[in-house]
Amino acid sequence: MTIPALTLNDGHSIPQLGFGVFKVDPAETERIVSDALEVGYRHIDTAAIYGNESGVGRAIAASGIPREELFITTKLYNEDQGTDSAHAAMAKSLERLELDYVDLYLIHWPSPARNLYVESWKALDEMRAAGLTRSIGVSNFLVPHLERILAESGTVPAVNQIELHPYFQQPAVTALGAEHGIATEAWGPLGQGKYPLLELPEITEIATAHEKSAAQIVLRWHIQQGHIVFPKSNSRARIAENFDLFDFELTGDEQASITALERGGRVGGDPNEVN
């Protein structure tokens, strides 16, 4: 199965479906990522703060998949923001991943209390120029954070990875992104199990109609919304199920009924408060 690819604003392409390793046990990461790669995923999303970059690196090395067929993302954490510390953090991430470059490097949170995200953004631009990453972007940036780096750097992020699921769709952030050609990546695409999303009749009735699981319906909604999405699971069966999204399509009415679930229901941290 071929995963659709989106073209980023810097000309690089990204698989629209990937595999995330947030909260994946470092001791289990190699096995779980190896399962994902065997199922067919080629886009892996990790972060320094997850503590499992080394496991991702071992899985990549053991897979035998040519490097150019993979899309690997990692992230700069808050405590490493600043020019020199950002460069040092990237070097450590590449060492743990056993890679010469990543495909996408993100500022994990704006961490506004530190007031270093503009400086860090300029450091990421230097890393891109040095070939350490193909693309650069941000994560958890709200409209004021985006507007500031656009105004003070002149470099537009390729992506903004944000909390996004049916109860919390962040329309102002995604609209600003669309205006500037910034792709939206959705983390927590199924709401992280913090509300009964997969039991809602708006979802289960569509699942029954398509003979798919409720999770597949929500993930398909993301795909048709144009989001880049990377569900996670420790179960190979669920990993395979989450990959199986491209033999059906939601109708316009079905898409609209899921979009109408918006409730402003953030389940993760507030980017103005995570420092």
* Residues known to be catalytic: 50
Q: How much of the chain is in helix, strand and coil states, percent to nearest 5?
A: 45, 15, 35
What is the token pair recorded at 65?
Answer: 């998949």
Whole-number Å distance between alpha carbons of 47 and 178: 25
Listed residue (175, 227, 221) closest to 202, CA to CA:
221
User: CB–CB of 7/13 below 8 Å?
Assistant: yes
Coil, strand or helix at 261? coil
Find the helix packing angle between 143-153 and 171-180, rounded to 10°: 20
Coil, strand or helix at 169? coil
